[in-house]
Amino acid sequence: MLRVAVRRLSSSLWRPTHVASSFALAHCPVGGDDYGIDSFNPFLFNSHPLWGSRGFGSISPKNERRSSIPEVPATVAAKKSPTSKIVYDEHNHERYPVGDPSKRAFAYFVLTGGRFVYASLLRLLVLKFILSMSASKDVLALASLEVDLSSIEPGTTVTVKWRGKPVFIRRRTEADVKMANSVELGSLRDPQKDSERVKNPEWLIVVGVCTHLGCIPLPNAGDFGGWFCPCHGSHYDISGRIRKGPAPYNLEVPTYTFLDHNKLLIG
């Protein structure tokens, strides 16, 4: 019974649609662009009692239907009709005329001058950077030291400052030289001949820094007549070699040169 009722209801709703369609065809003359279903009078059609009821289709005017249909997007149209011709939108671009050929030499001159200035600045920066890493004039002045030896008496020791370190310059006597050469190398902690430590047997030049912990030894002191470090008891002989105490190495011999008989250049 339920199925039969549903069928009857659906048939009753479907029939007025055909009635409305027949009514529209009967009251709308056919022929020409100004007549037809698209150009019928909507007020006349809406006034019919079947218009607007459930189950009837809607028929809109011709102009209203055209305005509701959107235009085809440009991307879709390009895909449907591809072409190799490319058109650029230049409405907001400005076109400048081609440069005057008579000013070409001036343009080249300006460009070349600018590049020359940039190259000069780059060269200046590189030189400044290299010179900043080199030693200053005061440091270079302390790199070498010239000493006058004429005022040093035999058997005495003079202390000068070189590169922030004390340097001992001792003018040895003949007895000092014989004593330095009479030492057996096997008894030394840091074996080294006296002739290897001096260029002139009369003059001994050593750095006055103890090789143990960097103290400054006292000249003409100690058990061997050379230098003595009171901090930890290191004894050096007349040739600056370690003979007793905790120091592991001999006193360092700097680089020096005799300019003449009474001139010494350290460094």
Q: Which residues are catalytic?
A: 232
CB 250 within 8 A of CB 236: yes
Tokens 């310059």 belong to: 169
| Helical segments of 28-150, H only | 42-46, 62-68, 74-80, 104-133, 137-143
CB 210 within 8 A of CB 229: yes
Q: Tokens for 102, please give them.
A: 């008579």
In angstroms, the CA 45 to CA 2 distance is: 36
CB 240 within 8 A of CB 197: yes
CB 239 within 8 A of CB 226: yes
Tokens 């009709």 belong to: 81
In angstroms, the CA 179 to CA 153 distance is: 19
Q: Tokens for 186, please give them.
A: 């096997």
In angstroms, the CA 106 to CA 55 distance is: 85
CB 21 within 8 A of CB 57: yes
In angstroms, the CA 26 to CA 14 distance is: 19
In angstroms, the CA 201 to CA 203 distance is: 6
